[in-house]
Amino acid sequence: MKALILAVGVLFSAASLASSLTTGDRIETITLADQHQAVWELSTNTQVLLFSRGMKGGEIIQEALESLEGPMPSNWRYVADISGMPSLIAKFVAIPKMQDLGFTIGLDQEGEATHLLPGDKETATVITLDGLKILKVVQVDSAKALLEVVK
Q: What is the pTM of this model?
A: 0.86
Q: Residue 7 pLDDT more than 50? A: no
Q: Residue 84 contacts by C-beta under 8 Å, 6 or more apart in sequence?
A: 53, 54, 111, 121
3-state secondary structure of 74: coil
Query: What is the pLDDT at residue 19?
Result: 73
Distance between CA atoms of 97 and 63, rounded to whole angstroms?
14
Q: Using 50, 70 and 90 to split pLDDT, how confident is the model at 11?
A: very low
Across 42-66, average pLDDT: 97
Domains and CATH numbers, the chain: 25-150 (3.40.30.10)
Q: Residue 25 pLDDT more than 60? A: yes
**What is the Rg, in whole angstroms, of the alpha carbon atoms belonging to the chain?**
16
Q: Residue 132 pLDDT more than 90? A: yes
Distance between CA atoms of 139 and 39, rounded to whole angstroms?
26
Cα-flanking dihedrals φ and ψ of residue 127, to 5°?
A: -115, 120
* Structural contact between residues 102 and 36, judged by C-beta atoms closer than 8 angstroms: no
Q: Residue 15 pLDDT more than 80? A: no
Q: Residue 122 pLDDT more than 60? A: yes
Q: Residue 9 pLDDT more than 90? A: no
Q: Residue 110 pLDDT more than 70? A: yes
